[in-house]
């Protein structure tokens, strides 16, 4: 029961963190305000929320938790994940751009796994490792984009430090909670530490808290804090009940929720790439939380997509064929051969239909629909004039090869044997 409830807390922590990020994006799109000022106000309000929870639940606040030397791990984690991590992230964006920075910092769940194994002696299953690898792959593909790079090595270093800092927090907090602290007490120490650190940064940089003296902005920040506090509390409960590796893997679903909430509330469009990579991220999370059997099914579905991403980019880089001149309003960048949409369409969708409906009486119908859907995507590439005919033919054949290979591995029980 503890494990199942921990999974629920981990999943919902990702949902509310994604909502919080969407609200923060809306705030920064409307107001020219320093993120450090928002961080100070955020942490200040969160302290009162956490203190209120402790007073209601325990009728008192044990202030000795702030002076107990055994809680220093929480303080270190707060400084790493808060000011240090945020500052390194900002510098990384400055030097190598937001896309590459997001792709590099996406490895922080893997950092949590390694640190938990080394310092906490936690045992991590192959299933968890593979799941986190799939999640990181999806985030990398989703966030990476070619940008002007000012200094790659300096930016890479800052992004790497940021990933290590973020990944360390869950391990350091888990260590504290395994001894004596409750989740709320741990989080209170974290927020007080973060607040004081951000306050020093704001004071030394000449920012003023008066920047938030606006009723609408204050209301938005309050909902931002509320969403983040719900996320933080659920995340720390998940860390305490599931161990850092699994909790971090579930929490990182915020990447997909941010895309969903941004589309709903901010009107940001969803590209084909974003949809596919979101599925790559969410499938291992969802199926891991349901059962081992379903996780194996998810691995079979995702295998085809991952082969596509690896081999398609290799072929495109090898042949470097330019796209045909199109008179359509639809514009695409990148090389033409082979057609990525054709390959993905005829590997991913038939695989989904096979895994979900194999053995059902309606299996032939669903398989036909999967293939027809993939073919319609392939034909559309010619209709809109963004690919040569040979691009589409080779891409489609490549997709069918990936589909056949994936299903062969699924039928011989490869995924189950490999993961368990």
Please tell me the distance from the alpha carbon of residue 238 to that of residue 246, in angstroms, as a whole number: 8
Q: 172 or 288, which is more confident? A: 172
pLDDT grade for 1, boundaries at 50, 70 and 90: very low
Tokens of 399: 């997709």
Is 34's pLDDT higher than 50?
yes
Is 136's pLDDT higher than 90?
no
pLDDT grade for 304, boundaries at 50, 70 and 90: low
Q: 371 or 380, which is more confident? A: 371
* 270: phi then psi, degrees, rounded to nearest 5: -110, 120
Please choose, from the candidates 205, 289, 202, the residue with its C-alpha nearest in 3D space to the C-alpha of residue 13. 289
Please tell me the distance from the alpha carbon of residue 224 to that of residue 154, in angstroms, as a whole number: 32
State the pLDDT at residue 197: 92
How far, in Å, are 11, 79, 148, 157, 305 from residue 49 at the CA level? 22, 20, 42, 36, 43
State the pLDDT at residue 398: 86
Is 328's pLDDT higher than 60?
no
Mean pLDDT score of the chain, rounded to an integer?
Answer: 77
State the pLDDT at residue 188: 92
Is 157's pLDDT higher than 70?
yes
Q: 365 or 231, which is more confident? A: 231
Is 231's pLDDT higher than 80?
yes
pLDDT grade for 316, boundaries at 50, 70 and 90: confident
Listed in sequence order, the DSSP H helices in 205-253 are: 215-242, 244-251
Domain ranges of the chain: 2-274, 291-419
State the pLDDT at residue 191: 92
State the pLDDT at residue 196: 93
User: Could you tell me what percent of the chain has a pLDDT over 70?
Assistant: 74
| 300-307 mean pLDDT | 60
Which of 256-265, 277-286, 395-404 is predicted with the least confidence, judged by mean pLDDT?
Answer: 277-286
Q: 7 or 275, which is more confident? A: 7
pLDDT grade for 195, boundaries at 50, 70 and 90: very high
172 CB contacts (<8 Å, ≥6 apart)? Answer: 73, 74, 76, 77, 80
Is 276's pLDDT higher than 80?
no
| 60-71 mean pLDDT | 82
Terminal-residue alpha carbon distance, the chain:
22
| 366-378 mean pLDDT | 83
| 70-76 mean pLDDT | 88
200 CB contacts (<8 Å, ≥6 apart)? Answer: none
| 94-101 mean pLDDT | 69
Tokens 């792959």 belong to 137
Reported as half-sphere exposure (CB side, CA atoms, 13 A), residue 315 has a value of 16
pLDDT grade for 127, boundaries at 50, 70 and 90: low
Q: 347 or 45, which is more confident? A: 45
Which of 170-179, 260-269, 271-280 is predicted with the least confidence, judged by mean pLDDT?
Answer: 271-280
Please choose, from the candidates 392, 259, 234, 373, the residue with its C-alpha nearest in 3D space to the C-alpha of residue 324. 392
Is 358's pLDDT higher than 80?
no
pLDDT grade for 131, boundaries at 50, 70 and 90: low
Per-residue pLDDT of 232-257, as tens digits, reads 888 888 888 877 877 887 787 777 77
Please tell me the distance from the alpha carbon of residue 77 to that of residue 70, in angstroms, as a whole number: 13
pLDDT grade for 76, boundaries at 50, 70 and 90: very high
State the pLDDT at residue 295: 53
Which of 81-95, 224-238, 248-262, 382-396 is predicted with the least confidence, judged by mean pLDDT?
Answer: 248-262
Contact 287, 294 (CB under 8 A): yes
Per-residue pLDDT of 386-410, as tens digits, reads 788 888 888 888 888 888 887 887 7
pLDDT grade for 192, boundaries at 50, 70 and 90: very high
Contacts of the segment 23-32: beta carbons below 8 A, 24+ positions apart: 23/220, 23/223, 23/224, 23/227, 24/224, 25/262, 25/266, 26/220, 26/265, 26/266, 27/217, 27/220, 27/221, 27/224, 29/266, 30/217, 31/211, 31/214, 31/217
Is 265's pLDDT higher than 50?
yes
Please tell me the distance from the alpha carbon of residue 403 to that of residue 124, in angstroms, as a whole number: 30
């Amino acid at each position: 029961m503890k494990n199942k409830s921990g999974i629920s807390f981990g999943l919902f922590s990702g949902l509310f963190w994604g909502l919080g990020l969407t609200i923060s994006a809306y705030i920064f799109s409307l107001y020219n305000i320093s993120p450090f000022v928002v961080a100070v106000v955020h942490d200040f309000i969160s302290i009162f929320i956490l203190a209120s929870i402790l007073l209601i639940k325990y009728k008192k606040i044990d202030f000795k938790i702030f002076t107990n030397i055994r809680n220093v791990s929480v303080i270190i984690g707060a400084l790493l994940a808060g000011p240090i991590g945020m500052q390194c992230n900002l510098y990384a964006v400055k030097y190598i751009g937001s896309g590459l920075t997001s792709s590099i910092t996406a490895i922080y769940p893997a950092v949590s796994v390694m640190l938990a194994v080394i310092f906490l002696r936690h045992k991590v299953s192959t299933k968890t490792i593979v799941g986190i690898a799939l999640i990181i792959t999806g985030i990398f593909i989703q966030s990476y984009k070619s940008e002007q790079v000012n200094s790659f090595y300096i930016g890479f270093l800052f992004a790497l430090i940021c990933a290590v800092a973020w990944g360390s927090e869950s391990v350091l907090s888990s260590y504290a909670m395994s001894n004596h602290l409750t989740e709320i007490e741990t989080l209170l120490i974290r927020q007080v530490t973060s607040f004081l650190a951000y306050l020093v940064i704001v004071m030394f940089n000449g920012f003023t808290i008066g920047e938030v003296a606006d009723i609408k902005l204050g209301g938005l920040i309050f909902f931002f804090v509320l969403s983040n506090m719900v996320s933080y509390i659920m995340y720390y409960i998940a860390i305490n009940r599931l161990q850092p590796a699994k909790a971090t893997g579930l929490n990182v679903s915020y990447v997909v929720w941010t895309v969903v909430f941004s589309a709903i509330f901010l009107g940001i469009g969803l590209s084909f790439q974003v949809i596919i990579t979101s599925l790559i991220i969410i499938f291992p999370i969802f199926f891991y939380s349901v059962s081992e059997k379903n996780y194996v099914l998810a691995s079979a579905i995702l295998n085809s997509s991952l082969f596509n991403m690896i081999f398609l980019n290799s072929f495109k880089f090898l042949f470097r064929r330019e796209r045909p001149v199109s008179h359509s309003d639809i514009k695409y960048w990148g090389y033409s051969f082979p057609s990525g949409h054709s390959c993905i369409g005829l590997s991913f969708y038939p695989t989904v239909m096979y895994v979900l409906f194999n053995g059902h009486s309606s299996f032939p119908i669903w398989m036909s629909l999967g293939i027809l859907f993939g073919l319609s995507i392939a034909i559309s590439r010619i209709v809109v004039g963004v690919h040569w005919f040979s691009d589409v033919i080779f891409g489609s054949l490549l997709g069918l090869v990936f589909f056949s290979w994936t299903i062969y591995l699924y039928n011989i029980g490869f995924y189950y044997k490999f993961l368990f």
